[in-house]
A and B are shown apart, each in its own frame.
Chain A
Amino acid sequence: MFTPEQIESKLDRILLKVEKPGRYVGGELNSTLKDWDTAKTRVAFIFPDVYDIGVSNVGLKILYDQVNQREDALAERAYSPWFDMEALMREHGIPLYALESKRPLAGFDLIGFSLPYETLYTNALNILDLADIPVRALERDESHPIIIAGGHSTNNPEPMHAFIDAFVVGEGEEVIHDIINSLQKTEGKPREERLREFLNIPGVYVPRFYETTYMEDGTVEAIEPTIAEAPRVINKRIVAKLPPPPTKFIVPNIGVVHNRVSVEIMRGCTRGCRFCQAGMITRPVRERSVEEVVDAADAAVRSTGFEELALMSLSSSDYTYIKDLVSAISKRFEGRKLTVSLPSLRIESVSIDLMEMLKQHRSGGFTLAPEAASERMRRIINKFIPDEDIINTTREIYARGWTTIKLYFMIGHPSETLEDVQAIADLCKRVLAEGRKVAGWKVKLHAGVSTFVPKPQTPFQWVPCDTRDSILEKQALLKRELFKDRNIKLSWTKPDDTFVEAWLSRGDRRMAEVIYSAWKRGAKFDAWEEGRKFEIWSEAFNDHNLDYTFYTSRPRRTDEVFPWEHITAAVRKNFLFQDFRMSLEGQIRVDCRLNCFACGILPTFSNLRRENPGEGWKCPDVKSPARKVDVKLPVVGD
């Protein structure tokens, strides 16, 4: 294996030939280089996209800090080399290395991939290959690192089961320590035994100890453990209380996509939008205190010098003390050059007040996400906002001086018709017309219309993707209606991209072979214009006699066993199904802070909740344990 010095001298010969060599050299402020020889467990965390995207990922930053705070372990980082760098690395025989020490990834004990979205899968395979690590889990031996993966996409891990040794379902802050401890306990033991030991860790799924059988029609018959210790169902992990947010963010030496400090103000969402996977799988809602957020933001801005602060959550407006938070932030950073972004605001005038409070820190346009434009559709997706609220809010946004509003919509929701799509165009035109009345001809609108992909672990997991013809027809309608106005900008998703995402997120174990073939045929960077190759994927499906429409365009039977049936985010299938039924009837469910609908979180985590009562969680308190009472009656005469 190459030494860091050998890798550095090889790099010196190629780095001047690539675009942005700063991606591949590390040396950032706040990165951590620990002594290799005294660390018992060496971990490499990988975000399998280009450095410019990956370096700002908050999830991996949390884990990086967690591991580096241990005396007995170290963590380093790696990202996907861009096309030009990969070609040169292969040509010069340079294995993929970690940025901190420049040691080859193959020399680490544990490699942890972050897989928040499915279009990173081919990159993950490519990274293993570039690191000279066998891509298939079963071909790796004791000399290779253990490969784990976490992130939202692991709510259906099956398409990647052949390549990853163990998946983490849910939140990583505590489970990463369990994994490291387990590895230290089984040091020197055979690989199989070390992975078997992982079965004792809640939230960890080791796919080699499970088997899937299929029905004649190709659907899953059952997913069964092959050994007794393997749990039948893997429940996601959560932390009872959000740990202190990271403040020492890596400061890249080159320009990247997000040059900012991100502070998570709240995890989870109580809104229950039926299309939203994040909203279903990140429950329960846990909030940080205003004081903790403001102090962390201040410390992070000081330690990085970043120009932007993002207050992260799935729904800023739902944070209980949002007004207090915004006014505290605005006060703390008064007079400092800092842009504050507050994503996911509700469509109501309060949101404008919040943004006004950040006036001296604000940037660009105002973004709102109605997602659908007809009343019928809003009921179906459970995001009910009356048209008048949208018109009144947007009119006021223009009146108060914003010239550009960005509205997010989705097409392809279940049972959507052209009328529902026409409503999107009509609403956009009306928003702009009303804006002109109060602010004149300078007002602009940007409509971002993506295509819905039904995701695992949501109430819409039973529905198919829209068909190609239908998507194209709907997009043609929008273009026809909205291109007429120069002040409306329209963006959309190509059907090919929607389908790639759909089969990767909804696939079963057979999808692993398709991914492998696609990667072998050159698929990578599937989320990028530069990398997208639909034909490659079609050929890969052909290689294995599979039809992609089986995964994308087929409504699931109500009694169908999903490929992800053995994985649960603790929101019960019954609950999801009931919610799906309600959507068919156009029934909405209100915010579950107002009324607990028994989604399944509380029974699963009742002990955690009981130990952490009060305001921290937005679920009701769990009082006395519902134990079976086993009273010994005194024997008469004793």
Chain B
Amino acid sequence: MRTRITFTKQGALRYIGHLDLHRLWERAIRRAELPLSYSQGFHPQPKISLAAALPLGFSSRAEVLDMRLNETLAPEEIQTRLKDNLPPDIKVTEVIEVEERLPALQTLVLSAAYDVHLTEPIEATELKRRVEETMNAESIMRERRGKAYDLRPLIEMMSVITQSDGRAWLKMTLAAREGATGRPDELLHVLGIEPETARVERTRLIFKE
């Protein structure tokens, strides 16, 4: 069976990278004694795929992975078995069965939504001005790993939320397609915010229907 798991990644686990997270899940599934499928061949690989890499330091309320099991189990049973076998900063929020023949999970991701709180507050009107300026730009040329790219078309939505106490923070949705992924830290640079002074949390991954 193919199962889709939605989970949170908080606290200490914010500092665990994509490959380590993959292995963490492989071990958790083994501890939960779920009948995980492996690929054939000389070096069998577990059939686990994570939807979209989460940059180091970000927390998430909704990471998604698909795994394949050799047997069919009730989703509730899977969730119960996983519960005590994960480190404290990962919590499973949903387990569902998905169509076996769907394309690979990574190819289904369209975009990702983030909340960005600032540890060094910026006044709300100033923040709004910067956001507007950015959204009005035709293009925003950036360079990453020696390659130039335009960040602007990767920003699907960005807005400033002002709390009743006057503190302002950001909500943003960025493209997360294979080969076209917007990184929140890049956008923060454009807004003149040091990424170390921001707490970024991924709130949702948006998939193709």
Contact = CB atoms under 8 A, between A and B. Distances in A.
B195 A305 contact: no
A617 to B, nearest CB: 36
A305 B28 contact: yes
A27 B196 contact: no
B186 interface: no
A22 B19 CA distance: 12
A305 to B, nearest CB: 3
B88 A27 contact: yes
A13 interface: yes
A403 interface: no
Nearest to A25: B12
Residue with the greatest number of chain A CB neighbours at <10 A, chosen from B33, B87, B88:
B87
B27 A305 contact: yes
A13 B88 CA distance: 23
B110 interface: no
Interface in A8-28: 9, 12-16, 21-22, 24-28
Given A305-B31, A306-B27, A13 B196 contact: yes
A26 B12 contact: yes
A26 B14 CA distance: 11
A304 B32 CA distance: 10
B24 interface: yes
Interface string B107-142: 000000000000100000000000000000000000
B15 interface: yes
Interface stretch (A182-190, A249-257, A579-587, A603-611): A249-257
B13 A12 contact: no
Interface string B63-90: 0000000000000000000000111110
Contact of A15 (B15, B33, B85): B15
B87 A28 contact: yes
B15 A22 contact: yes
A29 interface: yes
B4 to A, nearest CB: 21
Contact of A302 (B11, B31, B197): B31
Contact of B87 (A253, A302, A337): A253
Interface residues of B, number: 32
Given A12-B196, A16-B195, A27 B13 contact: yes
A304 B27 contact: yes
Given A12-B196, A28-B87, A253 B56 contact: no
Contact of A305 (B16, B20, B30, B119): B30
A341 interface: no
A487 interface: no
Contacts of B11: 25, 27
A16 B56 contact: yes
Interface string A328-340: 0000000001000
Contact of A253 (B20, B119, B197, B199): B20
A303 B33 CA distance: 10
Contact of B16 (A253, A306, A337): A253
A305 B26 contact: yes
Contacts of A254: 16-17, 20
B57 interface: yes
Given A9-B119, A15-B57, A253 B196 contact: no
Contacts of B33: 302
B23 interface: yes
Residue with the greatest number of chain A CB neighbours at <10 A, chosen from B26, B88, B197:
B88
Contacts of B86: 29
Given A251-B27, A305-B30, A22 B195 contact: no
12 contacts: A16-B56, A16-B195, A24-B15, A25-B11, A27-B89, A29-B85, A253-B20, A302-B31, A302-B33, A304-B31, A305-B85, A337-B30
Interface of B: 11-17, 19-20, 23-24, 26-31, 33, 38, 44, 56-57, 85-89, 119, 195-197, 199
What 4 pairs between A and B have smallest CB-CB spacing? A27-B12, A305-B27, A25-B12, A21-B15
